[in-house]
C-alpha cells in the first residue's frame, strides 16, 4: 500500500561542518526525489517521500564543501531515470550517476546511459525493494557492463553476503563490484561479526569496492560510534577500495541523520590527510572517471 502523505526524510539546516573537506571531495551516494509534479513516483513504491530535488542537493553540497557527486537512481522512481539524469545534466560535469534498469534493457540503452554520465548499474537485493534479477543473472549482466566500461553496484541484506559471495566474485572477474553501505552489517557485532568478516573476505579479492556510507544505518545511535569503528577499519585495511557518501535524503530509515554529523565523522573514519584524500578524491576519480576537475 502506498502512503499518500509525504514523509520528511531529510533535515534542512544552515549548520556547517567544523571539519573542512579537501578540494574536489566526492559524495558517491545520494538520491534525488522528484519534484513529483515533474518526475512522478513509481506506483509500486512502498512510501511517498518529501520531494528532494536537485536544487536541495546542490545547496547541501555547497554548504558542506562537496564539489563532486554520484547520484544513485532511486527505486521510488522505478526504471524512470529522468530525475537523476536531469540533476546530472545541471551538475556541469561534477555530478555523475548510477542507473537502475531492468535486466532486459538493451545494450544500446546502456551505451546511451554511459554517454550521458552514468557509470554503473545498481541492483537491489533488499526485502523492501523489488528485484527482477536473480543472483545468477548478475554474472551475465556483468559481462554486458564490461563491454561498455560500466561497473556493478549491489545493495543487499547482510545475510545475503554469504549467498551472493561466489556470484559476486565471478562478476568481479569482469567488472568492478561496489558494495553499498558496509554490506548493511550490524555494527554492534563489531570487528569480529560474522557478516562483517564475510564482507572483508570479499574485499580481499580483486576488483571489489565498498561504500563506507550508512554508518547511521548499521548503527542507529548518534554519533554512530560502532559504525565509525567498522568504517575506519575498512579504510585502514583497504585504502584504495573505499568510497564515501551521505546517502541523502536517507530514505527508508529509522531516523533522520544530520548530514553535518556524517561529514564530521570522517575525521575518525579517515584520520590522516592521505587517507582522507584517497577516500574522497582519488578513489572516486579512479572508479567514476570524472572528466571535469580531475584529481591531481
Q: Which H or E run contains 39?
A: none
- Cα distances (angstroms) measured from residue 8 to each of 55, 90, 127: 16, 24, 22
Give the number of other Cβ atoms within 10 Å of residue 277's Cβ: 19
What is the rounded distance in angstroms from the CA atom of residue 152 to the CA atom of residue 175?
7
Please report how the helices 160-171 and 194-203 are oriented relative to each other, as an axis angle in degrees rounded to 10: 0
Cβ neighbors of 58 (< 8 A, separation 6 or more) are 90, 91
The residue with greater pLDDT, 279 or 136, is 279
Exposed/middle/buried for residue 169 (C-beta within 10 Å: 0-12, 13-18, 19+): middle
What pLDDT shows up at residue 295? 44
Q: What is the percent of the chain where pLDDT is above 70?
A: 93
Mean pLDDT of 174-189: 98
What is the rounded distance in angstroms from the CA atom of residue 250 to the CA atom of residue 30?
8
0.85 surpassed by pTM: yes
Mean pLDDT of 237-258: 95
43 pLDDT more than 70: yes
Q: Are 208 and 283 in contact (CB under 8 A)?
A: no
Q: Which residues of 191-220 are buried (b: 16+ CB within 10 A; e: fewer)?
A: eebebbebbbebbeeebbbbbbbbbbbbbb
Name the band, by pLDDT with cuts 50, 70 and 90, for residue 249. Answer: very high
What pLDDT shows up at residue 134? 74
Q: pLDDT tens digits for 84-135?
A: 999 999 999 999 999 999 999 999 999 999 999 999 999 998 765 555 577 7
Exposed/middle/buried for residue 74 (C-beta within 10 Å: 0-12, 13-18, 19+): buried
Name the band, by pLDDT with cuts 50, 70 and 90, for residue 296. Answer: very low
Please name each of the domains of the chain with its CATH number.
26-288 (3.20.20.140)
**Mean pLDDT over each residue of the chain, to the nearest integer:** 92
Q: Which of 81, 1, 77 is nearest to 41 (CA)?
A: 77
User: Terminal CA-to-CA distance of the chain, rounded, Å?
Assistant: 49
Name the band, by pLDDT with cuts 50, 70 and 90, for residue 13. Answer: confident
5 pLDDT more than 50: no
- Where in the sequence numbering do the catalytic residues fall? 247
Amino acid at each position: 500500500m502506498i502512503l499518500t502523505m509525504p514523509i520528511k526524510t531529510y533535515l534542512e539546516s544552515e549548520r556547517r561542518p567544523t571539519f573542512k573537506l579537501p578540494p574536489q571531495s566526492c559524495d558517491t551516494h545520494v538520491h534525488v526525489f522528484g519534484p513529483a509534479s515533474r518526475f512522478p513516483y513509481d506506483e509500486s513504491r512502498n512510501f511517498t517521500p518529501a520531494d528532494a530535488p536537485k536544487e536541495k542537493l546542490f545547496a547541501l553540497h555547497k554548504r558542506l564543501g562537496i564539489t563532486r557527486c554520484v547520484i544513485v537512481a532511486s527505486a521510488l522512481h522505478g526504471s524512470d531515470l529522468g530525475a537523476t539524469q536531469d540533476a546530472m545534466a545541471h551538475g556541469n560535469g561534477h555530478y555523475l550517476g548510477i542507473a537502475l534498469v531492468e535486466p532486459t534493457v538493451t545494450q544500446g540503452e546502456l551505451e546511451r546511459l554511459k554517454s550521458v554520465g552514468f557509470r554503473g548499474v545498481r541492483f537491489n537485493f533488499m526485502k523492501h525493494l523489488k528485484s527482477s534479477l536473480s543472483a545468477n543473472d548478475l554474472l551475465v549482466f556483468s559481462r554486458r557492463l564490461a563491454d561498455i566500461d560500466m561497473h556493478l553496484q549491489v545493495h543487499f541484506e547482510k545475510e545475503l553476503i554469504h549467498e551472493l559471495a561466489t556470484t559476486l566474485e565471478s562478476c568481479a572477474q569482469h567488472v568492478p563490484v561496489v558494495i553499498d553501505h558496509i554490506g548493511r552489517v550490524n555494527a554492534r557485532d563489531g570487528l569480529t561479526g560474522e557478516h562483517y568478516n564475510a564482507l572483508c573476505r570479499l574485499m580481499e579479492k580483486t576488483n571489489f569496492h565498498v561504500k563506507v556510507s550508512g554508518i547511521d544505518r548499521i548503527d542507529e545511535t548518534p554519533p554512530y560510534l560502532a559504525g565509525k569503528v567498522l568504517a575506519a577499519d575498512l579504510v585502514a585495511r583497504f585504502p584504495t577500495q573505499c568510497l564515501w557518501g551521505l546517502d541523502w535524503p536517507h530514505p527508508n530509515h529509522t531516523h533522520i541523520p544530520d548530514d553535518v554529523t556524517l561529514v564530521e565523522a570522517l575525521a575518525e573514519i579517515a584520520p590522516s590527510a592521505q587517507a582522507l584524500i584517497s577516500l574522497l578524491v582519488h578513489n572516486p576519480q579512479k572508479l567514476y572517471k570524472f572528466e571535469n576537475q580531475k584529481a591531481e
